[in-house]
Structure formats: C-alpha cells, structure tokens
Amino acid sequence: MVSGGLAKQADPPAGLSAAGGSTLRAQLSPMEFALFASFGVRRRLAADQVLFRRGDLCTSMYIIVSGAICLDFGPGLPAKQLAANDFFGELAMLMERHPRSSDARASCETQLIELTQEGFEQLIEQDPAMVVFFLRRTVSRVVGSEQRLIGQLSRRNQELEAALGNLYSATHELNHTREMVYNDDLTGLHNRRSLTAYLQRSHRSGQRPQGLLLIDCDDFKGLNDRHGHLAGDQALQRLARILDSVVGQDDLACRLGGDEFCVLLCRTDALHLMRTAEFILDAMRSLAAFPGAEPGARSVSIGVSLVNATYHWNEAYARADQALYEAKRLGGNRAQWFAG
C-alpha cells in the first residue's frame, strides 16, 4: 500500500515546478501512475479506433500507457496530441455524466488504463492525500483551459468584428461605386448607363414602361450666360427633385445629359401621363413665381408620348423628342403630346 505521507513527499509531476509554477501538464508522476494503474482496467485500441465522441457522457478517465491519442475539439479549434503517461477525461471524476468536449481517437496502436468512478472512489480510500493533490492540479488545469478558451474566443470575436468592419466598408465602397456608375453626380438621378440597364431589365421581365416624358429646360444656355454655371446647376438640381417626386418604385427618372431629362412610367395611360407633365410644369412655375426666387428657377418644356410594347427605345425616344421640339417651337413652358 502506498501511504498518504509518501505522496506528500513525492516529487511534483513532470511540468509542475517545485515552487508551484503555473505550467501544469496532464501527466502523472510515476508514483501516481502506479497507484492509478492498480485501480484501473487496461484497454487496447487499434490505430484510428475511436474511444469516445464529442457529446458522449463521461463515465471514466484514461491514462496512456503507450501509443498516442488525438483529441479533436471540433471545427476552428486545434487538436491536441497526448502521449505515454498523459491522462485525459478526468472531468468524469468531478462531474457525473458530464458531456465530452472532444472526440478521442487512437493515433496508433495504443494501450490505456481506464479508471471508472467506482475505481476512483477506491483510490480515494487508499491514498486521499495524493488524490487531493491530483484534483487540485486538475481543477487548476480546467480553470486555465477556460481562461485560454475565453482568451481565444475574445480574440476570435475581435477578429470577427474586424472582418465584419472590413465587410461593411467593402460593401459601402461597392455601393458608393455603384452609385457613381449608375447615378448622375450633379442631380443624383439615374444616368444613361442606368437607363440602359433599366430598359434591359424591363425587356427581360416583360414589364415595359408605358409612358415617356422628355423634359428640357427653357433657355438654359441664356441662364448660364447671364447668371453663371452655378445658377444653371441649381436649376438642374431643382428640376431633378421634382422629377424624383413623380416616379414610383418601378419607374425611372433620368438625366440624359446637359439640361435634358426623361421620365419613364410603367403603369400609366394618356390622361395620367399628361397630368404628370402638368404637375412638373406647375411645380417649376411655382418655383419661378415664388417671392425672392433665385435665377435658377426656370420653366421647362416637355414632350409626351405613350410607349407601345412593340416600339424600340430609339423609336419611342424619337416620338417624344418630336413632341418636345414642337413644345419649344410654340414658346416653351408647356407639355406637348405626340400627335403621330
């Protein structure tokens, strides 16, 4: 029989400094090994044989006599290799029916000592001092493992936050780039490239626009010449805000270039189309008539045309452009229907 007093005088296990250093290994001293082996059962595992799976309930702890065991803690966590004289599964002695935290697999032909809870209770009766020392190391290892895990999770959380931040920045940059590609810098409306994409989508979906308004500022060159390009830019921005207010989710307001704009409406008829044109005209007139109105508040001319499903865009545009030309010829500040 190994006495408790002898256990107290034994050298500390490998990896634990005599001064009580912080490095704790899952390894038994020769004296502990001899005592544990006397209450355990020997088992042999073939290479690659599974001892237990993650989530299985603990019933025993194990000591490696020869060979090696690999503990796999799951995706994203490093596996752990154990060799001769190492022990594992000791939580089974502390917490009854505790779920395993890893898979255990023999890396090669391996011999183990399995110690059940019944055997562990007998071991306590045999040498309680040595068991207390073993349990103190075990608890210290568990606490240390928890602290390391918390540190790893904290670092992974920081890395995840950094990755999400980078993803957010990349998404923001992508959206900003897309806006620059498909939106007009000055007015914020869609541009010609966006118009082309819109027409392609509507052609594929079969939901084509039914009405077209072609809008042009009256005497825009004179406005720039008399009041400067800043006044001209302000006039375009005011018009853009009005056009943006008349379109729905499936419609499109677009700056074609210079002072030329268009509005495409999907669900419309001749009456609704002319009412929309009159609303735009009235809004621009109200801006110009407002007391203290700036020079940028100008009138517009509008060419109005229904869009037949069989028309090509160029043909629909030509019809609206012809109506716009007629509105200009008649003095501007009006909407002109394409007469055909």
| Whether residue 5 has pLDDT greater than 90 | no
Residue finishing a domain among 82, 116, 150: 150
Query: Of the ranges 128-132, 159-163, 197-201, 203-207, which one carries the lowest mean pLDDT score?
Result: 203-207
Residues with catalytic roles: 259
Q: Which two tokens stand for residue 77?
A: 């966590």
- Percent of all residues in the chain with a pLDDT value above 90, rounded to a whole number: 36
Q: List the Cα angle 167/169/174 in 5-degree steps.
A: 90
Residue with tokens 């939106």: 183
Looking at the DSSP bridge assignments, the partners of residue 252 are 264
Report, as an integer, the average pLDDT of 72-90.
Answer: 88
Tell whether 30 and 125 lie within a shared domain.
yes
Cα(242)–Cα(262) distance, rounded to whole angstroms? 12
Residue finishing a domain among 92, 125, 150: 150
Report, as an integer, the average pLDDT of 30-38.
Answer: 88
Decide if 165 is inside a domain.
no
Q: How many domains does the chain have?
A: 2
pLDDT tens column, 146-163: 677 777 778 878 888 888
Residue finishing a domain among 100, 131, 150: 150
Decide if 173 contacts 236 (C-beta within 8 A).
no
Can you give the residue range of the structural domain that contains 309? Answer: 192-337
pLDDT tens column, 309-318: 776 788 889 9
Quote the pLDDT of residue 242: 94
Q: List the Cα angle 146/148/151 in 5-degree steps.
A: 110
| Whether residue 18 has pLDDT greater than 50 | no
**Helices 30-39 and 128-182, axial angle in degrees (round to 10):** 100
Tell whether 123 and 209 lie within a shared domain.
no
Cα(225)–Cα(281) distance, rounded to whole angstroms? 23
Report, as an integer, the average pLDDT of 162-181.
Answer: 72
pLDDT tens column, 278-319: 999 999 888 876 655 565 557 899 999 998 877 678 888 999
CATH code for the domain of 234: 3.30.70.270
Query: Of the ranges 12-21, 53-62, 282-291, 324-333, which one carries the lowest mean pLDDT score?
Result: 12-21
Provide the H-helix boundaries in 252-312: 270-289
- Per DSSP, the three-state class of 183 is strand
Tell whether 123 and 218 lie within a shared domain.
no
Tell whether 132 and 223 lie within a shared domain.
no
Decide if 32 is inside a domain.
yes
3-state helix, strand, coil in the chain (%, to 5): 50, 20, 30
Cα(54)–Cα(101) distance, rounded to whole angstroms? 5
Tell whether 210 and 319 lie within a shared domain.
yes
Cα(183)–Cα(312) distance, rounded to whole angstroms? 24
| Whether residue 260 has pLDDT greater than 70 | yes
Tell whether 236 and 138 lie within a shared domain.
no
CATH code for the domain of 78: 2.60.120.10
